[in-house]
Amino acid sequence: MATQDIPQDVGGGRASLFYDPKVRGIFFQVLVIVALVAFVYWIIGNTVENLKRANIASGFAFLNGRAGFDVSDTLIAFDSDSTYRRALLVGFINTLVVAAAGIVTASILGFLIGIGRLSHNWLIRKICTVYVELFRNIPPLLVIFFWYFGVLSVLPLPKESIELPFGSFLNSRGFYFPKLVWGDGSMLVPVALLLGLAMSWFVARRAKQRQMATGATFPVFWTSLALIVGLPFLALVATGFPLSFDFPQKSTFNLTGGLQIKPEFLSLYLALSFYTAAFIAEIVRAGIRGVSSGQSEASAALGLRSAQALRLVVVPQALRIVIPPLTSQFLNLTKNSSLAIAIGYPDLVAVGGTVLNQTGQAIEIVVIWMVVYLGLSLITSAFMNWFNAKMALVER
Amino acid sequence: MLSSHIKKTGNSLEKTEKGSWVMKYIISGILGAAALGLMATAASAGTLEDVKAKGFLQCGVSTGLAGFSAPNDKGDWQGLDVDFCRAVAAAIFGDGTKVKFTPLSAKERFTALQSGEIDMLSRNTTWTINRDTALGLNFVGVTYYDGQGFMINAKKLPGVNSALQLSGAAVCVQTGTTTELNLADYFKANKMEYSPVVFEKLEEVDAAYDAGRCDVYTTDQSGLYGIRLKLSSPDDHVVLPEIISKEPLGPAVRQGDDKWYHIVKWVYFGLLTAEELGITQANVEEMKASGNPEIKRVLGTEADTKIGTDLGLGNDWVVNIVKAVGNYGEVFERNVGQGSPLKIARGINALWTKGGLQYAPPIR
C-alpha cells in the first residue's frame, strides 16, 4: 500500500549519513572551526617562536614604560614622564573627540544639504548638487591636505595674527579664543542649567499630553529656550557675574593664554565633516524621496504647512530609510579619522605609531589598534541598531 | 614564498595614492607582524647565502635626506649611507651596482629589517642600547658622528641666537626618532615649554616648517644643513650653535647571523683602513704592487692570505670596495663634505690619526 511505501523510502535515505544535508552541514561547520582554531594556534605559536628567535621582546609590559616624548594635543594631563599606556589613552581620546565632533557636524550639514537638494529654489538646489558632487568624488586625504597645507600657508604668522571679534585670533598656529574662568559662586550656573533642562523636558511632556487630550498646542520650543537660557542668566545676575575671561596675548613665539584649537584638529575635523556630509546628504535625499508623495499631499490636505509636513510627516518616515546607511557613514568617518597621520594630528594611529617605533613592539600595537577600532565600530553600530529599532514604524 | 609575496605588496603600496599614508603605516606594522607570524620556523640559510642566491643586496635607506640617501636628478640614489650599501655589495659581488634600495620612513625601518624585507639598514639611524637589545638588531659601527641641533628662521625671529631662548616655541619634528625624545628631555631639563608638531615623513616636516606652522625645526645637525638647502629661501634660516645630544649614526643588521654581521662591520673598517693607508679609488691598482706588508695584507696580495676567505668573501674584498666607492674620506667628501653642496667639515668624523673618532681595528 502507498501509505506503507513512504516510511520505507525515508528509511532507505537514513541508511547513508553522508547524503543527509543536516549531518553534512554540521560536519563541514565543525571542519571549518577545527581548521580555523588550528590555524590561529599555529600563527600564535609561530609568532612567539619567531620573536624569541629574533631576540625581540614581546608582551604588553612595555606599556608601563616612560614615554619620553610629548604629544601636541592632549585633553588629559600628559608629559614626557607619563607612560606609554597614557600616551595611547591620549591618542584614543583624540580619536573619539574628532570622530564625535565630525559625526555631529557631518549629520547636521548632511541633513541641511540633503533637504536643500530637494528645494524648490533653483539656486539652493544647484549649490547643494555641486557641493555633493564635488566632495563625494574627491578622496578624503586630498580634502585634508587642502584644509591643512592649502589654508595654512595663507594664514599669517602669530605676530601678524588676524584679529577677530571678542579677543579671538586666527593665525598659522590655529584659532585662539578667550577662555572662560569660573569665579566663586559660579557653581549656581550649571545647577540652573540642569534645572532649566529638566523643566523643559517636563513642559514638553505636559504639552504633548495636553495636545493628545484636547488638541490645543503649546509653544514648547520658545518656552524651553527661555528656560534653558534664562535660568542660568538669572543665576549669573544673582551671583553678580563671577565670570572672567582669559584673553590670548602675543608673546615671543606664539600667543599665550586663552584656548587654542590647533590647525591639525581643525583641518581633520572640517575635512571629515565636509566629506561625510556629502554622503549623508545623498542618504537623506534618498530617504525623503522614499516617502510616497501621497504622504505630503495628504498632509497638505489636512492643512499642515509645508515645513510642518516635512517635520511631522515626512522626516519621521524618512528616518527609517536613512538610519541603516547612516550607520555605515558614521563608521566610515570614525575609521577615516586615522588619516590624521598625514597631517600630524595625534590620534590613536599616530600616537600608536610613535609608541611602536620607540619600543619596536609592532605586533602588540597593531593588536591594540585593531581591538580599539573594532570596539568603536561595534559600539557605534549597536547604538544605531537600538536607535533604528526605536524609530521603526510601530504597527497599530 | 610568503616573504616574497609580502615584499611585492610593500612595493606596490609605494605607488598607491588614496589613503596610502594610513595603509602604508598600518601595513608596515602588519607586515612585520605577519612576516613574524608566517615565517617558517626552520632556520633559513644565512643572509650572505641569501644575498648571493638572489644576486643583489637589498638595502634600506631614507626617503630622501640630502648627503645621506636621496635620489639625484637622474633618479640614482646618492649619499653616504647609499655608498655604504654599494661598498657592501662590492665586497660581496665585486660590483657596487648590485644593490637595490628600499626607501623607508623612520617608523618602517626596524620592522623592515626584522621581517627580512631588507638585508641591511643604512639609513642615518642612531645607535642606542634599546635598539641594540630589545629590537633584535645589531649596529655595526658609526659611519657618521652626529648631534641634534635646531634651525630657525632668523629673519622672522630676530634676536634669537641660542636654543635656550626657545621657550614657548612650536617645534617641528619627525616622529619615531631619538630626536623626538631628546627634544622632550632638553626642554624639560631647561624648564622650557614647547608645543611639538609631529609628522611621520621628513618631506611633511619640511613642508610644515616652510609654511610657518612651527618656529623651530629640530633633527640631526647634518640633516638640518641638507634640509636648509631645500627651503624656499635658505639664506633666511640659521642653525643654532647648541648640540643637544650624541647621535652616532650607523648601519644595522638583524641579530643571530654573526657571519653577515662581521661582513658588514668589516666593510666599514675596510673603508677606514683604506683611508688610513692612503689607498684611493685612483691609486688602488698601483697599490696592489706595493711592498708594504700592511697594504699587502689589506689588499689581499699577501701570499696564501686567508683574511678575505675567512670573512666569507674574496681576498680582494677591500680592492673591490675602494674601486666601487673609494675610501671613507672620499665617500665623506663626495657626499657631505667639500665636494657636496652641504660642505660639512670632517670634525669628529676625521680619522683618529687626525684628531677625529674614526678608528678601525687592525686587519691582520
Instruction: Tell me the per-residue pLDDT of A267-280, one tens digit each, with 9 for 90 and over.
Output: 999 999 999 999 99
- Please tell me which of the candidates B180, B211, B255 has its beta carbon nearest to residue A153: B211
Spell out the residues 6+ positions from residue B359 whose beta carbon is closer than 8 angstroms to its own. B272, B351, B352
Which pLDDT value is given to residue B70?
92
* Topology, domain B43-146+249-364: D-Maltodextrin-Binding Protein; domain 2 (3.40.190)
Task: Judge whether B16 is closer than 8 Å to chain A, CB to CB.
Answer: no
**What are the CB-based long-range contacts (under 8 Å, 24+) for B99-102?**
B99/B56, B99/B57, B99/B58, B99/B59, B100/B56, B100/B57, B100/B58, B100/B59, B101/B59, B101/B60, B101/B61, B101/B69, B101/B77, B102/B58, B102/B59, B102/B60, B102/B61
Q: Which residues of A touch B181 (CB under 8 A)?
A: 68-69, 80, 358
Minimal CA separation from B302 to chain A, in Å: 39
Q: Determine, for residues A54 and B136 on separate chains, whether the beta-carbon distance falls below 8 Å.
A: yes
Question: Has residue B194 got a pLDDT over 50?
Answer: yes
pLDDT of B326 above 60: yes
Q: What is the 3-state secondary structure (H, E, C) of chain A?
A: CHHHHHHHHHHHHHCCHHHCHHHHHHHHHHHHHHHHHHHHHHHHHHHHHHHHHCCCCCCCHHHHCECCCCCCCCCCCCCCCCEHHHHHHHHHHHHHHHHHHHHHHHHHHHHHHHHHCCCCCHHHHHHHHHHHHHHHCCCHHHHHHHHHHHHHCCCCCHHHCEEECCCEEEECCEEEECEEEECCCCCHHHHHHHHHHHHHHHHHHHHHHHHHHHCCCCCHHHHHHHHHHHHHHHHHHHHCCCEEEECCEECCCCEECCEEECHHHHHHHHHHHHHHHHHHHHHHHHHHHCCCHHHHHHHHHCCCCHHHHHHHHHHHHHHHHHHHHHHHHHHHHHHHHHHHHHCCCCCHHHHHHHHHHHHCCHHHHHHHHHHHHHHHHHHHHHHHHHHHHHHCCCCC
Non-local (6+) Cβ contacts of B122 within 8 A are: B59, B60, B61, B69, B81, B82, B84, B85, B143, B251
Supply the pLDDT for residue B36: 56
- CATH topology identical between B43-146+249-364 and B148-245: yes
pLDDT in tens, A182-193: 777 677 788 888
Do residues B77 and B61 touch, judged by C-beta distance below 8 A? Answer: yes
What pLDDT does B314 receive? Answer: 92
- Residue A261 backbone dihedrals phi, psi, to 5 degrees: -105, 120
Chain B window 95-154: which residues touch A at a Cβ cutoff of 8 Å? 106-107, 110-111, 114, 130-131, 133-136
pLDDT above 70 for B319: yes
What are the chain B neighbours of A139 within 8 Å (beta carbons)? 17-19
Cα nearest neighbour of A159 on chain B: B156
CB contact under 8 A, A363 and B183: no
pLDDT at B90: 96
* Band of residue B267 on the pLDDT scale cut at 50, 70, 90: very high
Query: Which residues from chain A sit within 8 angstroms of residue B190, using beta carbons?
Result: none
Q: A253: which chain B residues are within 8 Å (Cβ-Cβ)?
A: 157, 166, 168-170, 215
A contact test, residue of B213, B216, B254 with most A CBs within 10 A: B213
Residue B43 is predicted with a pLDDT of: 45
**Is B197 close to A72, i.e. CB distance below 8 A?**
yes
Q: Note the pLDDT of residue A163.
A: 82
Domain boundaries, chain B: 43-146+249-364, 148-245
- pLDDT tens-digit readout, B131-145: 888 888 999 999 999
Q: pLDDT exceeding 90 applies to what percent of chain A?
A: 33
Residue A59 touches partner B, C-beta closer than 8 Å:
no
**A70:B254 CB<8 A:** no
| pLDDT given at position B1 | 35
Task: Judge whether B15 is closer than 8 Å to chain A, CB to CB.
Answer: no
B17 contact A CB<8A? yes
Question: Which chain A residues in 17-56 lie under 8 Å from chain B, judged by CB atoms?
Answer: 43-44, 46-47, 49-51, 53-56
Q: Tens digit of pLDDT for each residue in A322-381?
A: 988 998 899 999 999 999 888 889 999 999 988 988 887 888 899 999 999 999 999 988
- Model confidence pLDDT, tens digit, residues B113-131: 988 899 999 999 999 998 8
Q: Distance from A125 to chain B by nearest Cα, in Å?
A: 30
Instruction: Report A:321-360 residues touching B (Cβ under 8 A).
Output: 338-339, 341-344, 346, 349-350, 353-354, 356-360
What confidence score (pLDDT) does residue B186 get?
93
Q: Which residue of B has its CA nearest to A347?
A: B198
* B contact residues 144-173, partner A, Cβ 8 Å cutoff: 156-157, 160, 165-170
Topology of B148-245 in CATH? D-Maltodextrin-Binding Protein; domain 2 (3.40.190)
Residue A51 with chain B: CB contacts under 8 Å? 36
CA dist A277 and A126 (Å) reads: 16
Interface test with B, best of A55, A73, A151, A155 (most B CBs within 10 A): A55
Average pLDDT, chain A: 86
What's the grid cell of residue A53? 628567535
